Amino acid sequence: MTSNLAIKLREGTKKAHSMAENVGFVKCFLKGVVEKNSYRKLVSNLYFVYSAMEEEMEKLHSHPLVSKIYFPELNRKASLEQDLQYYYGNNWREQVAPSEAAKAYIARIHEVAATQPELLAAHSYTRYLGDLSGGQILKGIAQRGMNLSEGEGTAFYEFKEIPDEKAFKAAYRQSLNEMPIDDVTADRIVDEANAAFGMNMKLFNELEGNLVKAIGQMLFNTLTRRRTRGSTELATAE
């Protein structure tokens, strides 16, 4: 019995995927505009989201459906802890807390784990497949945008236990397709994946205000420096 779930997820989330990529914060990020304070808040939120997801996946790893997409090598909690230590320092645990959007996202993960565990496939697919697909590109953008050295603040994008990401993604999609589910369940998983994209968009939207302020401050500082330099040049000429 095959469900073709991977194909249904890809086709059924195209619109939500496109919408997520067009959120202001993401568009700025993809263009190389990365503000460190906003970015570290995103890392903090992702830490709480992945912690919840990985906690539930571990508890349900023997579940007949969840077991099909249980791959501990995908886990991001430890790598996010490394990044949080870089951005916040050794006492990072005392400084971070989930935002309102993150709290809602986390609550949904715990809810589906308790009531409809098969829907965890939607959350796993939405986050991990995206991380694997664009990880190295996003890592490069983050490094250039924040002037990071190799190995600083980008552990999230490193899947050290997955040497061949392309082969792994193919195996993961095959596991999705082999989940013993009917069409109704597959459709519910697709609906949940679209909801997960929406939850991610809310995480990004929360950061837009901070990003706009930071960009405005950067522009102000640049203009101020130019005016100061111009006044100095004028005074020298006189």
Tokens 């603040």 locate to: 153
Question: DSSP E strands: which ranges in 46-107?
Answer: none
Would you say 173 is a known binding-site residue?
Answer: yes
Q: How far is CA 204 from the centre of its chain?
A: 9
End-to-end C-alpha distance for the chain, whole angstroms: 85
Would you say 125 is a known binding-site residue?
Answer: yes
Q: Is the dihedral of CA 128, 66, 197, 190 positive or negative?
A: positive
The C-alpha atoms of residue 157 and residue 140 are separated, in whole angstroms, by 10
The C-alpha atoms of residue 109 and residue 139 are separated, in whole angstroms, by 26
DSSP 154: -
Cβ-contact 131, 157 below 8 angstroms: yes
Q: Is the dihedral of CA 144, 145, 148, 153 positive or negative?
A: negative
Residue 52 burial class via C-beta count within 10 angstroms: exposed 0-12, middle 13-18, buried 19 and up: buried
Would you say 123 is a known binding-site residue?
Answer: no
Residue list for the binding site: 10, 17, 125, 173
Residue list for the binding site for heme b: 10, 17, 125, 173
